[in-house]
Amino acid sequence: MIQPIYLYGSEVLREVAEEVDLNNTEEIKQIVTDLKETLAVADGCGLAAPQIGVSKRIVIVDGTDMTDVYDYLKDFRRTMINPVIVEESEEACIYNEGCLSVPGVYADVRRPSKITVEYYDEDLKKVREELDRFACRMVQHELSHLDGNLFVDNVAPIRKKIIAKKLTNITGGRIHTRYKSKLVK
């Protein structure tokens, strides 16, 4: 079912999400379905369960619509349950990020260039995967949500000042989104 996306200022976005009980397959299926359906109408490239108000460690990433810019993402669609970054490179890169929970705000964020992540897929099989380039960026961005962090927490101080009014407008409910959204303090 399509869920509202919780906006910047919502408490659930600042919580450390709980691990999913892998034996509770019905809960997992429902969260994954809700994430996929919500992401499809919101037109993003990733979504974490806290963004739909569920403080559980599940994310989906989908780079398939970005192949005009990143052709290597043509088959990059992942569901990650209880994901953990087990390695990250010392080398970092900067990408301009945005977020469905922080509409209209974009900023450069520095993150590791490569990561190795372990997670369970939709079939509850354990996966270990090394990621780089934009796939790595998408996954890191979504995994940050599971720890209560948003991309705006990682921008340069001067950029924080520049975006402060936009963030205030979001927390004040003075924002319009093209998708169903919600602010819960």
pLDDT digits (tens, 9 = 90+) for 97-156: 999 999 999 999 999 999 999 999 999 999 999 999 999 999 999 999 999 999 999 999
Residue with tokens 């963030």: 167
Q: Is the pTM of this model over 0.75?
A: yes
Active-site residue identified among 15, 37, 122, 142: 142
Which 8-state DSSP code applies to residue 12? G
Identify any residues that bridge with 79 across adjacent strands, giving them in sequence order.
60
Burial pattern 13-25, b for ≥16 Cβ within 10 A else e, equals beeebeebeeeee
Helix (H) or strand (E) holding 82: strand 77-88
Write the single-letter amino acid at 109.
Answer: V
pLDDT digits (tens, 9 = 90+) for 33-57: 999 999 999 989 999 999 999 999 9
Residue 122 is among the residues annotated as catalytic for this protein: no
- Residue 4 CA to residue 85 CA, distance in Å, equals 28
Helix (H) or strand (E) holding 74: none
**Percent of the chain scored above 70 by pLDDT?**
100
Residue with tokens 């399509």: 2
